[in-house]
Every structure is written in C-alpha cells, then in structure tokens.
Amino acid sequence: MPGEGPGRASANGRAAFEAALGLLAAGIAAWWLPQMLELFSIINATVYTAMAVLALSLALVWGFGGILCFGQAAFFGLGGYAYAVAALNLPDTTYAVPIAILVPSLAAAALGYVMFFGRISDVYMGVITLTVTLILFNFVNSTAGEEWRIGAAPLGGFNGIPTTPPLNLPGDPGTPLAPEQIFVLAVLCLGLCYALCKLVLRSRFGRVVVAIRENELRAALLGYDVRLYKLGIFTIGGAMAGLAGLLFANCVFVSPTMFSLAYSGQIIIWVMVGGIGTLLGPVIGAMLLQALTAWVGTLPEINPNLILGLVLLVAVLAIPRGLQPTVAGWLRRRLPEDAA
C-alpha cells in the first residue's frame, strides 16, 4: 500500500536524529578542539564558528524561506553592537545576551513587516535589505564623536568598540570567560542553531514556509497567510544572525565592517557554495571559505577578494547545486541502494 512509504513519524524521527547528531558533533568539537589548538587558532576557530551560525541564518531565510536577503550582515552587526553596548552598561554581561538577540529580531520583524505586508516584490526586497545595511554601515561609521555614546558605551565610529567586555560566568561578573570557553560556547550555539533549524523545518510552520517558497499563490489559496509565515522565518533568521554577531563580538570586537557590503556578499557566497536549500552545506561553506580567505591573506601580493570571486565562479560552474547536494549525490551513487 502506498501509505506505508516513508512515514511522517519516521521523518520526524529522522529530523530529531539529525538534530541530535549535530549537537553530538558540536559537543565533541567543543571538548576536543580546545585541547588540540593554541590560543590564536582557538580564536580563529571561534570566528569561523560565528560565521557558520551567520551562514545558517541565511541558509534558513534564503534556502528554505526563498527570501534573498542581501542584508543579513545588518542583523549580524546589530547583534554585535547590541551586545557591546549592553555589556558595557550592565554589571553582568550575561544579561546582554537576550538583548543581543532581541534587538536584531525586532529589527528583522520591523523590516520584514514593511516588506511582506507592503507586497514588495523579490527584486526590491534585495534592494531594500542591501540599502538598510549600507545605511547602518554609514551611520555607525559616522559615530566617532564623544556625543555618540549610549550610557557607558561610546559607539566609536570606524574604530568600533574595542573595549567590549567578554561574557562572564553567569551570575559571576568577576570571572570573564577564557577564549577556550568562548569557543566551546560558540560551538554549542552552532549545534543548537542547527538542531533548531532542523526542528523548525519539520514543524508545520517550517513545512508551510517551504511550501510558500515552492508556490506562494497555492499556499495562499489553501488559506495560509503567506506574509505572516515569511515574517516568521525572516525574524528567526534575524535572531540567529544576531547570535552570530554576539559570538563575533566575544572573539574579535565590534566595528562598522560588520555591516559592510563585503560581509553581506560573503554570506550569500557561503550559502551558494554550500548548497541552497541545505543546512550543513552553508556551515561547511562558511568555514572552508573563511579558512581559504585567511590563508590567501597570508600570501604576498594576492588580493583575497579576487580569490574568493574566483572560487565562487568555479563553484557555480562546477557544482551548481552546491557542496552538500553534490557530495550527497556522489555518496548515493557509491553506496549500496539500501544504505543511501
């Protein structure tokens, strides 16, 4: 009987299994890597992990929600700055965490409301998200003067806020987290975000979001308020990008470059190279390309952006579906039928 095919229950079980697997991998990495790496590498690995969270946020919004957002960097920057400002003003930096997630979520919700309820078409959505990011970039860049401060936090213009305190042990402001601990936290956040994405996509909400990507009109004709679902996934993506900004603020420091065009572009490249419509692909894409950019940066007389552009060109031509679908397809052909 056809009804006996891959059942919903087993699909949910599989999503839960993959989510658990992601968490387990994060756990192992968090436990093992700090013992292996030296301090500089640990900080670098934390940056890569933060970028992977950022890539995951766009993978969700673009790959599954079908919303091409050129401004994911805006929420990343807002998360970083919200953390920095709150951490400088609050005695316990733990309380800055919800603020760093809430501020970009609200910004995403407000921007999303205008775009989705205003019936802005896809192309203009790209233009609007890009413009908002550039406005923020220029604004934060021009806050160098003494008058630009929020409480105890000077915004610092193009210098950013180098005095941002790191997270402390919750409830113990006197004990800031060591870089190793920040790394562990970042890896666990990545694992949690991955698990969250998996579970969201298996829920009714997530399936309607994917259905809207497939055919917006049909979803509306079945009685789903398309605008609300898009707003929902866009806001979740904004929150996740904010978390990435928080992690970044804890291993580097916040500066206007977080809002830059270069970042916005890179996030899109990570997702494209990793595979649109996948989660693991963009995570790996972000890490690989970050590592590549860092390595090329050490070579004399080569512009990293040139190499990054070249990589994108080759990737789009050679593996148009992206890393994850290509590798998965290759494995499926190699492995015996039932294992795939």
Partner 1 sequence: MSVLLATEHLTMRFGGVVAVDDVSLSIEERELRCLIGPNGAGKSTFFRCLTGQYRPSAGRILWRGEDITGLEPHQIARRGIGIKTQVPSLFDGLTALEGVVLALRRQHREREARRRALAVLERLGIAELAHRPVGLLAHGQRQLVELATVVAPAPDLIILDEPTAGMSAEETAGTAALIRDMNRDHAIVVVEHDMQFIRAIARKVTVFHQGRVLVEDSAEAVLADPRVHDVYLGRPPEARQAVPA
Question: Does 5 help bind partner 1 (rule: CB under 8 A)?
Answer: yes
Q: What are the E-state strand segments in 235-286?
A: none
- Measured between alpha carbons, how far is 340 from 331 in angstroms, rounded to an integer? 8
Nearer to partner 1, 217 or 318 (CB): 217
Question: Does 332 help bind partner 1 (rule: CB under 8 A)?
Answer: no
Amino acid, res. 83: Y
Nearer to partner 1, 4 or 147 (CB): 4
Question: Does 316 help bind partner 1 (rule: CB under 8 A)?
Answer: no
The CB-of-7 to partner 1 minimum distance in angstroms stands at 8
Question: Does 328 help bind partner 1 (rule: CB under 8 A)?
Answer: no
- Measured between alpha carbons, how far is 206 from 64 in angstroms, rounded to an integer? 8
The CB-of-199 to partner 1 minimum distance in angstroms stands at 14
Span interacting with partner 1, options 5-13, 32-40, 133-141, 243-251, rule CB under 8 A = 5-13
3-state secondary structure of 313: helix
Q: Torsion over CA of 324, 325, 329 and 332, rounded to 10 degrees?
A: 60
The CB-of-6 to partner 1 minimum distance in angstroms stands at 7
Question: Does 222 help bind partner 1 (rule: CB under 8 A)?
Answer: yes
Would you say 277 and 97 are in contact if contact means Cβ atoms under 8 Å apart? no
Among 35, 204, 318, 337, binds partner 1 (CB under 8 A): 204
Question: Does 226 help bind partner 1 (rule: CB under 8 A)?
Answer: yes
Would you say 33 and 44 are in contact if contact means Cβ atoms under 8 Å apart? no
Question: Does 300 help bind partner 1 (rule: CB under 8 A)?
Answer: no
Burial zone of 250 (CB within 10 Å; 0-12 exposed, 13-18 middle, 19+ buried): buried
Tokens 């940056």 found at = 47
Question: Does 3 help bind partner 1 (rule: CB under 8 A)?
Answer: yes
Question: Does 334 help bind partner 1 (rule: CB under 8 A)?
Answer: no
- Measured between alpha carbons, how far is 251 from 86 in angstroms, rounded to an integer? 16
> What does the binding site for partner 1 look like in residue numbers (CB under 8 A)?
1-3, 5-6, 8, 204, 207-208, 210-211, 213-215, 217-226
